[in-house]
Amino acid sequence: MATKQTRALARTMMAPAVIVLFIWMIVPLVMTLWFSFQNYSLINPMMTGFAGWANYVYVIGDPSFTQALVNTLILVGGVLIITIVGGTFLALLLDQPIWGQGILRILVISPFFVMPPVAALIWKNGFMHPGYGMLGHLWKFFGLQPVDWFNQYPLFSVIVIVAWQWLPFATLILLTALQSLSEEQREAAEMDGANAANRFRYIILPHMARAITIVVLIQTIFLLGIFAEIRVTTGGGPGYASTNIAFLVFRTGILSNDIGAGSAGGVVAVIIANIVAIFLMRAVGKNLDA
Amino acid sequence: MARRVSVQTRIGFTVLAWAVALLLFSPILWTLLTAFKTEAEAIATPPTFFPQNFTLENFEAVQDRSDYIKHAWNSIVVSVGSTLLGLIIAIPAAWSMAFAPSKRTKDILMWMLSTKMMPAVGVLIPIYLIFRDLRLLDTVHGLTLIMTLINLPIIVWMLYTYFKEIPVDILEAARMDGAELWNEIVHVLVPMAVPGIASTLLLNVILAWNEAFWTITLTSGRAGTLTAFISSFSSPQGLFLAKLSAASLLAIAPILLLGWFSQKQLVRGLTFGAVK
């Protein structure tokens, strides 16, 4: 029974959070928009004034942009596929009556708590290094030529690292959803003579649909902004082979000191994220309401 | 899990599950083992599994080279500081959303969530320039401020879902008894909300600890956190695999332990309460 007084108070108490988030969202975004139409370089102070669409033409017209866009899609898509399929498999496995379930959960969830630069560096040096990485040793053991992963398959290598970090997240969420499936429902299906494949297709999968949706939604938000893994492994290279949109903006704006072009890239990144968000929200909307 | 299965099936699943789990854990295990090897042993062919000459010299070398303790302290200050600051702002907001909801509460919550969808690179350049002009670049308080802002939506959401579960009748009863609003919050709400607040605190410390975009772009030497510390190992210098492993272990060990305690909260927090 909210009285007028409590309602006013409620608004006051909500105000700080709303105000700081509003400022945080609006001020830098407006500045990015403003810079994106300016000639503004930190190296060349003579370059000033209104640029019109020049920065956008420069950023979008460059072949590196198309490549970064494609790389972003491959990176997000690749990691999503690996983590959803792998996570479903792992969740089903961990849900079986097995010994040591508690310890297994801890082992499986651990990669999620490894900070991105550490994950990237231990994969790069301990595993994927052609000279002394574990994969190199393994290849040599089978008499094969060790692969120089980051030079030959830079984007694929980044995908492997990121997928390793996010697989635990998908597994944990899907396992939580799986365990909320009632035992009666499963047993009923079993008694009706449904085989394992049918039980998965008609009972388990529909039950997990909501959780899968949420995993896709949340991971996409994070995966669009993958940065540290690229920064400490390939530096976006060779060339632009492993540069995504986020890293391209960093390269242009901060490393090359071209504020105008970097900002234009930033605006494009925001637009892409919004398109993805709207698309996702619409696709998952029904699922979430149910 | 009271399903009846044969012992053979159970053994089969157990072996398979352990194999997969150990495979996933192997990069961490390998780092742990390599950290205690000498540099020569770390890159030996064929590789050794357990350290043959157990040594702690890598940890000393890492401390001398990159000052682990300073970076770890910065990480603690930033992650704990930003979480506490976030809680101070978020608790009143979540309280009013949960107990005095208006027509717009849902919209405000969704809007807060949407701020998380804004890519960080979209605002990197203005933030970088503002920080440069206000001399906030490479400062612990500047970084704490940013970290508070990026985690605030998650903190509000998590608290909101926890507060929603507190029966409103109890608060009403306290109000009937003439409790002042302030007392209502301190003596009635907070004790019931402590588990939720603790979970929120834990998860957000972990998230801030592992945040690697703003910590790398906005700091260099002075205010660098552990993500910046570890990034300084990105270009190999001579023999360094054992030292890198030691540094990695130092950077992840504290949060790994915290993380193991917070699995349940992790699911709830990261799905904004949608999966419990």
Residue B144 confidence (pLDDT): 95
Tell me if A253 sits within 8 A of A59, measured CB to CB. Answer: no
What span, in angstroms and rounded, lies between the C-alpha atoms of A205 and A88? 9
Residue B115, domain CATH: 1.10.3720.10
Say whether both B165 and B76 belong to one domain.
Answer: yes
Full-model pTM: 0.87
Residue B85 confidence (pLDDT): 96
Q: Which residues of chain A have pLDDT under 70?
A: 1-3, 283-290
Nearest CA to CA, how far is B83 from chain A (Å)?
A: 14
Chain A residues with CB under 8 Å of B43 CB are: 131-132
What is the number of H-type helices and E-type strands within chain B?
Answer: 14, 0
Say whether both B159 and B208 belong to one domain.
Answer: yes
The secondary structure of A55-83 as a DSSP string is HHHHHHHSHHHHHHHHHHHHHHHHHHHHH
As a whole number of Å, the end-to-end CA separation of chain B is 18
Tell me which of B4 and B260 has the higher pLDDT. Answer: B260
Tell me which of A176 and B175 has the higher pLDDT. Answer: A176
Top residue of A40, A99, A125 to mutate, by most chain B CBs within 10 Å, is A125
Tens digit of pLDDT for each residue in B221-258? 788 889 888 888 877 666 688 889 999 999 999 889 88
What span, in angstroms and rounded, lies between the C-alpha atoms of A56 and A62? 10
Asked whether residue B256 is assigned to any structural domain, the reply reads: no
Per the prediction, chain A carries an average pLDDT of: 85
Which residue(s) pair with A38 in the sheet? A50
Asked whether residue B153 is assigned to any structural domain, the reply reads: yes
Residue A253 confidence (pLDDT): 81
CB-based contact, B207 to chain A, within 8 Å: no
What burial letters (b/e) apply to B24-38, b meaning 16+ CB within 10 Å?
bbebbebbbbbbbbb
Say whether both B16 and B122 belong to one domain.
Answer: no
A45-49, B70-74, B270-274: the lowest-pLDDT one: B270-274
DSSP B235: S
Tell me if B232 sits within 8 A of B156, measured CB to CB. Answer: no
What span, in angstroms and rounded, lies between the C-alpha atoms of A85 and A108? 15
Is the torsion defined by CA of B28, B33, B36, B42 positive or negative?
A: negative
Residue B1 has pLDDT above 50, yes or no: no
Residue B2 confidence (pLDDT): 46
Residue A290 confidence (pLDDT): 41
Instruction: Tell me what ipTM this predicted complex has.
Output: 0.85
DSSP A151: H
Tell me if B274 sits within 8 A of B154, measured CB to CB. Answer: no
Tens digit of pLDDT for each residue in A263-277? 898 898 888 888 887
Residue B237 confidence (pLDDT): 67
What domain range includes position B158? 67-232
The percent of residues above 70 in pLDDT, for chain B, comes to 93
Q: How many CA atoms are closer than 13 Å to the CA of A138, on its beta-carbon side?
A: 8
Residue A108 confidence (pLDDT): 92
Residue A287 confidence (pLDDT): 53
Say whether both B20 and B101 belong to one domain.
Answer: no
Residue B274 confidence (pLDDT): 66
Asked whether residue B272 is assigned to any structural domain, the reply reads: no
SS (H, E, C) B10-66: HHHHHHHHHHHHHHHHHHHHHHHHHCCCCHHHHCCCCCCCCCCCCCCHHHHHHHHHH
Mark which of B18, B37, B58 sits at the end of a domain. Answer: B58
Residue B42 confidence (pLDDT): 81
> Which chain A residue has the Cα nearest residue B255?
A113
Residue among A10, A25, A123 minimizing CB distance to B100: A10
- Residue A14 is encoded by which pair of tokens? 């909500």
Say whether both B54 and B108 belong to one domain.
Answer: no
Asked whether residue B27 is assigned to any structural domain, the reply reads: yes
Tell me if B121 sits within 8 A of A236, measured CB to CB. Answer: no
Residue B4 confidence (pLDDT): 62
- The enclosing H or E element of A131 equals none
In CATH, the architecture of A56-289 is: Orthogonal Bundle (1.10)
Tell me if B146 sits within 8 A of B191, measured CB to CB. Answer: no
Residues whose CB falls within 8 Å of the CB of residue B102, separated by 6 or more in sequence, listed in order: A7, A10
Chain B residues with CB under 8 Å of A115 CB are: 209-210, 212, 226-227, 230, 251-252, 255
How many domains are contained in chain B? 2
Say whether both B139 and B36 belong to one domain.
Answer: no
What span, in angstroms and rounded, lies between the C-alpha atoms of A143 and A155? 26
Say whether both B213 and B108 belong to one domain.
Answer: yes
What span, in angstroms and rounded, lies between the C-alpha atoms of A133 and A172? 29
Interface subset of B 244-263, CB within 8 angstroms of A: 244-245, 248, 251-252, 255-256, 258-260, 263
What span, in angstroms and rounded, lies between the C-alpha atoms of B267 and B261? 12
What span, in angstroms and rounded, lies between the C-alpha atoms of A269 and B165? 38
Q: Are B126 and A98 inside 8 Å of each other by CB?
A: no
Tens digit of pLDDT for each residue in B251-260? 999 889 888 8
Query: Where do we find the tokens 């976006």?
Result: A236
Interval B193-200 mean pLDDT: 85
Residue B203 has pLDDT above 80, yes or no: yes
CB-based contact, B25 to chain A, within 8 Å: yes
What span, in angstroms and rounded, lies between the C-alpha atoms of A105 and B262? 12
Tell me if B139 sits within 8 A of A266, measured CB to CB. Answer: no
